[in-house]
Structure 1
């Protein structure tokens, strides 16, 4: 379940900024239909930073409900407070999720020892499998390969989402972690190369609007049919790049709305609607990639 294209799902909102259940159900069906391997609910792309804890829990439970066992659900449960991350993780213990995605603590910039203790404490507090999430551009703190390797020795830490874009790390992490430790890209732009170097898949923003293409690209790559995978990926490159014209998930939400995948493009402050200049560039990318 942790190999291939996994979507970092957007959280749809209605005109009043409330969770849009209709759109969420539509999105889950879209990913089941297009063979996405799993859904990450309420991660960065799912606007975890603007949802309160009650809404966070509600969106994950709704995603589990709408999936009806047809696609695994991974819950975003990270926090920069270890106690808060543990509390949120434990809240999902009987929810039906298959794993948690736990981000490196942001803003407080812990040491490598602090990172180890943080994730060790979470792992030891729950039976839910834990996937680490390293994204220094967001957190201001990089979890080094040696720390990842040490954490992989803990029983229910089962993998990592590496969103550094640094492909040189893959070999070392792959070589010194346990055999069944999942290595998942968090960067659509380099995901194909990541898999070719030994990775297991990608937690993807692009999959929100190109689920079938991302699923097929990952399938070919995992089967070592790299020429076929690259032909698909080359068409997606304009999308990979354009979805970060402004802070994620601003562009992908606008694109999903344009494609009719969600009913409204609403975000919550401090996130704002995609600018007209970026709308034009993203629309060009959608056409160039044959998404629209």
Structure 2
């Protein structure tokens, strides 16, 4: 499916594991069904929330194949193909493309913290060789580096770039990025507590952790904004702030996997170094879920 005009709620899907620490494909299919029923507009696999940094290439491709098969063309499936190694990012991008992925999410090269030209060439080395639309991913809090305004300007015109996931939490940076938006280059909020502000700058939606547990609410919020009902969208954003903050009370995806386990959708299993929540933050999370009507 074409993602070049994608709008709405894109769930940054968790990867469920079983008691032995292996990918739980039955649970993965349940999650896909949950999102199809809840109105999610697209699914992102193998992102930060999907714990792809602890998975093998074989597991990555198997997860992508499972989700693509279960979705069966009803909504787009996007694959995270980022790496701090440019060649590895290209390899993974091409591997996902061969398996039928609809688009790719490409993160800045973390840890290496390259200079401006190196970051530009990191992206173009992949963009020049793939045949599916790509979304850039700016999240300096995790990677230690940002996509500069100059690089946004240059990359926004590349024929294989269709947008940017903006997760810096810096509204000033997002405003700068907004100057380059067009029908061919869209912005998606990467922060669940800033969806409406990003939409107000011309954004097209969100790539969301929150949507894992409340797909209908996140889809409805973005749909309301894009339909011109800004008051309804803002009301949903503000009503759910306590839940959103609880979902980030520990490092993502620890709380959201705990939340999905509370809802009976997955087992609460992580790949180390991730570890189950502390008691205090777990209580806060469950209280927020009860207030949001997600659990009894």
TM-score, L = length of structure 1: 0.97
Displacement after TM superposition at 1:177 (Å) = 4.5
Structure 2 partner of 1:166: 170
Q: Does 1:5 align with 2:9?
A: yes
Distance of 2:180 and 2:211 partners within structure 1 = 30
Contact 1:80 1:108 in 2 (8 A): yes
* Alpha-carbon distance, 1:170 to partner: 3.3
Q: Does 1:243 align with 2:247?
A: yes
2:156–2:180 CA contact under 8 A, matched in 1: no
Residue 152 of structure 2 is matched in structure 1 by 148
Structure 1 position 193, deviation (Å): 1.1
Question: Is residue 75–residue 100 contact of structure 1 (8 Å, CA) maintained in 2?
Answer: yes
Q: In the alignment, which residue of structure 2 is the partner of 1:135? A: 139
Determine the structure 2 residue equivalent to 1:284.
287
Question: Following superposition of structure 1 onto structure 2, how do residues 20-99 of structure 1 map, counting pairs within 5 Å?
Answer: 20-99=24-103
Partner of 2:107: 103
Structure 2: give runs of 5+ residues left out of the alignment.
Answer: none
Contact in 2 for aligned 1:131/1:161 (Cα 8 Å): yes
Q: In terms of mean alpha carbon deviation, does 172-181 or 267-276 score higher?
A: 172-181
TM-score of the aligned structures, taking structure 2 as reference length? 0.95
Asked whether the equivalents of residues 153 and 178 of structure 1 are also in contact (C-alpha less than 8 Å), the reply is no
2-side partners of 1:148 and 1:39: how far apart?
A: 24
Structure 1's unaligned 5+ residue stretches are none
Q: How many angstroms apart in 2 are the aligned matches of 1:171 and 1:103?
A: 20
Q: CA deviation at 1:142?
A: 1.1
Q: How many residues align?
A: 291
Is 1:265 aligned to residue 268 of structure 2? Answer: yes
Q: Is the 8 A contact 2:116 2:148 kept in 1?
A: yes
- Residues of 1 paired with 2:239 and 2:78: CA distance? 28
Q: Distance in 2 between matches of 1:246 and 1:171?
A: 28
d(CA) in 1 for partners of 2:182, 2:75: 26
Q: Counterparts in 2 of 1:182-197, with a 5 A limit?
A: 182-197=186-201
Tell me which of 209, 225, 230 is aligned to 1:226: 230
Say if 1:149 and 1:177, in contact at 8 Å, map to a contact too.
no
Does residue 255 (structure 1) correspond to residue 259 (structure 2)? The answer is yes
Alpha-carbon displacement from aligned partner over 1:129-168 (angstroms, at most 9, x marks no partner) = 1110010010011112221111111110111101011222
> How far apart are the structure 2 equivalents of 1:92 and 1:49?
16
SS at 2:240 equivalent: helix
Q: 2:86 touches 2:122 (CA, 8 Å); kept in 1?
A: yes
- Asked whether the equivalents of residues 171 and 198 of structure 1 are also in contact (C-alpha less than 8 Å), the reply is no
Which of structure 1's runs of 4+ aligned residues deviate more than 4 A?
Answer: none
